[in-house]
Amino acid sequence: MEEYRSHAHSISLCKYHFVWCPKYRHLVLGLVKDEVTELFTETADHFGHEILALEIADVHVHLFIQTDPKHSPSDVARQFKSYSGKHILERRPEIRESYFWGGGFWKVGYYVGTTGAVSEEVVQRYIEQTEH
C-alpha cells in the first residue's frame, strides 16, 4: 500500500521523477557524485521531501521524491538545483574554472513526471461515468 502523507486538512500522495543535466552537458557528475548526494540529502531534509531513489549518471541526474502538495514541481527542482549547484561550485573552484566559466552548474531546464496510485485511465473513467 502507498504511504500517504496526512496534513491538517488533506491527505496526499505526491511523487515526482526529475531528470536534469549539468550545464553544457559536461561529464563532471562522476567527479562530484558524493557531493551531489550529500547536498540533495540536505535539501530533502530541509524542505521535508523524501528521496525514494537517486541515480547520478555521467551526464544527468535521476531524482525520485515524495513531497507535500504545497511544493510545486518547479519549486522542488529549484530547491535541489540551486542549493546543490551553488555549493558544488563553491567547494570545487577547479571545476568552475575548467567547465562552468559562464556561471551556474545545472542546465536551466529539466524533466518532471508524476506517479500515483491510480492510472490516468481510471481517473478519466471515474469522472466521465460517475454521477455527481
Q: Identify the pLDDT of residue 1.
A: 41
Q: Domain 12-129 belongs to what topology?
A: Alpha-Beta Plaits (3.30.70)
pLDDT mean over 1-26 = 84
Q: Identify the pLDDT of residue 105.
A: 94
Q: Does 23 have pLDDT greater than 70?
A: yes
Q: What is the pTM of this model?
A: 0.86
Q: Identify the pLDDT of residue 128.
A: 82
More confident residue, 2 or 68: 68
Per-domain boundaries in the chain: 12-129
More confident residue, 110 or 125: 110
pLDDT digits (tens, 9 = 90+) for 38-88: 999 999 999 999 999 999 998 999 999 999 999 999 999 999 999 999 999
Task: Please spell the DSSP secondary structure of 55-67, one letter per residue.
Answer: EE-SS-EEEEEEE
Inter-CA distances, 17 with 66, 80, 86, 107, Å: 9, 13, 22, 17
